[in-house]
């Protein structure tokens, strides 16, 4: 899982670097009517990582083994197809500070990495969890998916930053 972990860690560093110089006011500013604030995008990423970590853990414990072909999850970064977030990863309207968000993102990443340390890629390759676009995704591919999903939203953050 070394390569997968490098992907998610590199993208997370890029994400945090992108927002580091913004004020809490800028991060929480509603820049477009029907779009999330930058902070809400970050909150969505936190909620997503937390829920996917739990889903991967539960599926590994209780899911049935199945043969699932590798999916082109790197296409997750392609924003030409809009995907509505499931209700459980829709961010709150509540204003947060960058430090609060960094703490939350740090905690969700720590939980994911702690789990990955206790399992192996072979076990993760034998089970799958459904995605609304890709269908069944092997558990080992959900790890880099988290990174590609963050990269997708990093582009959204950069768009929002250009409107500040």
What confidence score (pLDDT) does residue 81 get? 87
- The rounded distance, in Å, linking the Cα atoms of 119 and 58 is 13
Tens of pLDDT, residues 101-124 = 999 999 999 999 999 999 999 999
* pTM, to two decimals: 0.96
CATH annotation of 2-161: 1.20.120.450
Contact present, 16 and 8 (Cβ < 8 Å): no
Provide φ and ψ at 47, rounded to 5°: -60, -40
What confidence score (pLDDT) does residue 83 get? 87
What confidence score (pLDDT) does residue 52 get? 98
Tens of pLDDT, residues 51-83 = 999 999 999 999 999 999 999 999 999 999 888
CB neighbour burial string for 33-71, b if at least 16 within 10 angstroms, e if fewer: eeebbbbbbbbbbbbbbbebbeebbebbeeeeeeebeeb
Contact present, 9 and 95 (Cβ < 8 Å): no
What confidence score (pLDDT) does residue 113 get? 98
Domain ranges of the chain: 2-161
């Amino acid at each position: 899982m070394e390569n997968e972990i490098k992907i998610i860690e590199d993208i997370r560093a890029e994400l945090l670097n992108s927002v580091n110089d913004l004020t809490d006011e800028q991060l929480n500013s509603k820049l477009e009517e029907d779009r999330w604030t930058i902070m809400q995008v970050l909150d969505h990423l936190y909620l997503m990582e937390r829920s996917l970590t739990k889903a991967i853990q539960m599926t590994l414990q209780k899911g049935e083994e199945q043969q699932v072909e590798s999916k082109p999850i790197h296409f997750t970064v392609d924003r030409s197809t809009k995907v509505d977030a499931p209700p459980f990863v829709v961010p709150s309207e509540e204003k947060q500070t960058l430090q609060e968000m960094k703490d939350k993102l740090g905690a969700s990443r720590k939980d994911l990495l702690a789990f990955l340390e206790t399992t192996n890629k072979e076990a993760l390759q034998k089970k799958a969890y459904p995605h609304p676009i890709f269908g069944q995704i092997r558990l080992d591919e959900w790890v880099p998916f988290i990174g590609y999903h963050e990269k997708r939203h990093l582009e959204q953050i950069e768009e929002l930053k250009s409107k500040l």
